[in-house]
Structure 1
Amino acid sequence: MTSPEDIFRDFTDSKEASDHYEEHNRKRDEVAEEELQPLIDDFRSSEVDVVEFRNRNNGLNKQHPLWGFDGFVGGMHFNKLLKAVPGESELGEKLRNVIQPPENEADAHETIDAFAEYTQRLKENDLDSDPFPKSTIFFLSYFWHVQQSTDWPLYYPTTEQYLKEEGLFEMEESYGASYVDFIATMDDLREEASTWLETPVEYREVSNAIYWHEELDESEIEDEETSGGGEETETFVNGDKPYLPPVVADLDAVAAGRDEAVNQYAPADTDLPVIFERKCGILFKMLGFDTEVLGQGSGRNPDGIAEAVRNDYAVIYDAKKREEGYRIGRDDRTIREYIETHTRRLRDQGKRHIYFAIVSSSFRDTEESTLRDLRTNTDIDNIVLLKADVLQELLRMRLEEPYLNLDDVEWVFGNRPGEIQSEELENIVPEWRQSDSEFFVS
């Protein structure tokens, strides 16, 4: 085995490793501050529920694989917890308390042990989901580290395994005690490395050096950078609209009535709301749906019905062009009428699930009670709000990734009510495409 001192010296002597992780850490700080911390704050204040929190957190980690949370003991463990818990609200209340960084190591010890015991009870009551109690150490330390990276080290298995092989760390009688001991070991390494390198060392630098030595080398980093793998993969619609056919590439601009759309379609003898409706119908067809376009001129009807014929579900959709964003308001009566008019026919045709989707530039002042009332008092399985650029991104993913099908796409319409965030789309990626063996610091 290579000693910690040699690992740190080799790591700092490698320009490839130093450059790679300097950019990696910069990106970690940016994503944590601008995206993850606001999401955690919204969850802790109950602005988002536990399902949306899981979806958006997991989606962000698939989009930005910076902490290893997109693997078995991170995102997949979160999925297992949600499947095993008797009620989603119960898990939400538990998590709101435990993802807040601890006051001290004794608090961390107690929090990890308590949540691991809770996970064990879920495991015993739901053998199919099988959440793994030891994953609690990584799972909670991830949230603490994202919020306070200099105070709480992330418990990576690669780091744990190396420390065990060097005789520097052993699991204690409880997971909480093991994490506290892990902190002590990491503190010793930080102090020693600071002496060797004559510069302060953070927890993540210890993990970076160990992972670089155990899993990466310079040639792999060079190959990654040469192939473009070192850059963040584009997952959201950008200015060039990759993979988007021109006919729907401006859907977001039309939805918001932006100047470029107004100028482009000024010569046409058609209003922008009608153009928006037509483009939505085209996009649903491109997704693979058998789409019936209704809209203006068809009476009191929604703008269209998109049927997944072989998948036994349908989406009733309505397109709302708005410059300032759409608010349901009194339209819930109209929506109720649309649902009542079409669900019976769709059920008679054998559709097991029927969803309602509103597509607009953005949404404002949405009352969750209105959405709940529509789900409860009509024969609809779910109602979702989709921004035009999110719908564009869904199409981009569908066209770019041939393994995605309408079964996968159904997740967007059936998973939860309310506005679907762009980062949540990463959750339509099937689990078989995800690593289920281990997780890594990339």
Structure 2
Amino acid sequence: MIPEHIQNQITTIWDKYIEDHKAVLDTKGVPYDDIDNKRAGAIEILKMIIQDFIINKIDIAEFKTDIDSFNKKNNFWGFTSIKGQMFFNLLLKTSEGEGQLEKLTVLLKNCVTQPKDLSDALNKIETLDKYVLAIFNKVPDKRRAPNPGSIGYFLSYFWQIHDYQQWPIMYSSMIVSFTDIGLWENPKSHRDAYKEFYNLNEEVKLILTNYTGNSISNWEAEHAFWNFRTVTAYPPKKEKLVKPLDEINVVLDNSVSALMQASFDIYDYLPRITANLIDLGKETEGSSSGKGSKYEKAVCEVFKQLGFAIDPLGQGKGREPDLIAVHKEDNVAFIIDAKAYSNGYMMGASDERAIKEYINHYCPKLKKEGIQRIGFIIVSNGFKSSFDGFVNDITWRTDIKRFILLSSDALLHLLAYRIKDQKDLSEIVEAFISLGKTITSQDIIQRFDDI
């Protein structure tokens, strides 16, 4: 039984959700237009994909690819993130030994089938947990193994596709919210965790049903708590996550979307030498050259902390880019220019000429060193235009494969995730390659955060 004071917090969270017109925001902060109806339509297609796998119409690799492709276009559940598709990718990649893929296929068919009841669901979690844990314990580099902590979300996603009225998805954002209001204590096993989550979710729905006089669905409860997040990327000062009841309204007034903010304070993980990057990028005092030099050095340090081999160039060395960042293992290099502009960077004609000179000078050198994939990154606090014409010209006419406009904010988030989760540098490089031309902090959060 949930204590009365926590029940009051739950109804206050619901009232704020109603006050916000039941807004559910996407990763860019844009409200979804009728997300529940979109989910309902998407479910019919996802059911067919799951069924094709179960009846052997597609194999496990095709199943993974089809799920990935569909969710990238219809990302209504956050499956493209770490606990979803990335877990699935690693699960297959670490099951490539003799007979392992066949074993995983049989196991996964059973696990993604709709459970008969909660007891059956918990048995499925335990079965997959044992399989994944055996892999996790054997792999020397845990970053390359599927994380058992993802199983609750991963399987409950598929169960919800079968019956969204019955099965709630175990989002990390929901666990954060339950923790914030004093509902959650970490269970001993992943099986127990989903049991606890399922039962709490049922209690929450019952409380809200009694409070509103209407039957509350899994999705409605999820949306209300999804928008209730006390964790922000840039808190003005350190705060405890659990708030007393008399402060709940303050927390709710400052609530943020679960997909808009990191689920942790990034400054807990950033080295002091890089933490003021954004401030350096908007500094207005002092000479422009002095300000630019400090910002360039900080950008260089971030790329060094990310794990790149760095060749710092920049001011004092003539007409040069600020640094070259190389990752020889992936045969990749980035020519990087840091722009400290307080009001956002806008490229001028002289900048265009300089960038072309950098490319013409350094691409041949890098190719002689055996680097075949070369990108160009401009780092700045913000950008006043998209530079589409220039970028298209560069990627069409030169050896530059990717031209990226990277915000300082995004770069700091990337470093925080790298340090917090021990991300492999190859994952960082893949993010640069696969994300859009302009990369924001929300792009990094969506890619790496624990949903």
User: What TM-score results when the alignment is normalised by the length of structure 2?
Assistant: 0.52
Amino acid in structure 1 at the alignment position of 2:357: E
Out of 33, 36, 49, the residue aligned to residue 26 of structure 2 is 36
**Residue in structure 2 matched with residue 320 of structure 1 by the alignment:** 339
Q: Say which of 292, 305, 309 aligns to 1:286.
A: 305
> Which one of the candidate residues 411, 414, 423 is aligned to 1:394?
414
Give the aligned partner of residue 211 of structure 1.
none
- Deviations 1:211-237 (Å, cap 9, x if unpaired)? xxxxxxxxxxxxxxxx95999998389
2:295 partner amino acid: F
Structure 2 match to 1:246: 272
Amino acid at match of 2:315: Q
5 Å-filtered alignment, 1:194-213, equals 199-204=213-218
Q: What secondary structure, in the 3-state scheme, does the structure 2 residue paired with 1:130 have?
A: helix
Percent identity, please: 22
Q: Which segments of 5 or more consecutive residues in structure 1 lack a partner in the other structure?
A: 1-9, 45-98, 146-156, 166-174, 184-189, 209-226
- Alpha-carbon distance between aligned partners in 2 of 1:332 and 1:269, rounded to the nearest angstrom: 19
Q: Write the letter of the residue equivalent to 2:26.
A: L
Q: Within 2, Cα distance between the matches of 1:191 and 1:291? A: 53
CA deviation vs aligned residue, 1:390-432 (integer Å, no higher than 9, x gap): 212222222333x2121121123211342112122246649xx
Q: Distance between the aligned counterparts of 2:15 and 2:113, measured in 1?
A: 18
CA distance in 2, matches of 1:354, 1:345: 11
Q: Give the structure, 1 or 2, with the largest relative contact order (CA under 8 Å, sep 6 or more).
A: 1
Maintained 8 Å contact 1:291/1:304: yes
Q: Is the 8 A contact 2:47 2:162 kept in 1?
A: no
User: How many residues in Structure 1 have an aligned counterpart in Structure 2?
Assistant: 312
Which residue matches 2:381?
361
Q: Distance in 2 between matches of 1:37 and 1:426?
A: 8
- What are the equivalent positions in structure 2 for 1:329-344 lying under 5 Å apart? 329-330=348-349, 331-344=351-364
Alignment deviations for residues 97-127 of structure 1 (CA, whole Å, 9 cap, x no partner): xx87659xxx956x75467668989997896
Q: Deviations over 1:74-105 (max 9, x none)?
A: xxxxxxxxxxxxxxxxxxxxxxxxx87659xx
Alignment of 1:391-430 (within 5 A): 391-401=411-421, 403-426=422-445, 429=448
1:252, CA displacement in angstroms?
0.8
**Superposition deviation, residue 362 in structure 1:** 0.4
Question: How far apart are the structure 1 equivalents of 2:296 and 2:387?
Answer: 24
Alignment of 1:120-159 (within 5 A): 128-131=61-64, 143=76
The SS at the match of 1:36 is coil
8 Å contact 1:244–1:396 — kept in the other structure?
yes
Are residues 30 and 303 of structure 1, via their aligned partners in 2, closer, same or farther at CA, if it must alter by over 3 Å?
farther
CA-CA distance at 1:368 after TM superposition: 2.9
Match in the other structure for 2:323 = 304
**CA distance in structure 2 between the aligned counterparts of 1:338 and 1:254, rounded to whole angstroms:** 24
Q: Which amino acid aligns with 2:299?
A: C
Q: What CA distance in whole angstroms lies between the structure 1 residues aligned with 2:389 and 2:288?
A: 40
Change (3 A) 1:315 1:237: farther
1:272 is displaced (CA, Å) by: 0.7
Matched with 2:101 is none
Structure 2: unaligned runs, 5 residues or longer: 79-111, 121-158, 168-203, 223-239, 244-250
Question: Is 1:248–1:282's contact at 8 Å kept on the other side of the alignment?
Answer: yes
| Displacement after TM superposition at 1:354 (Å) | 1.7
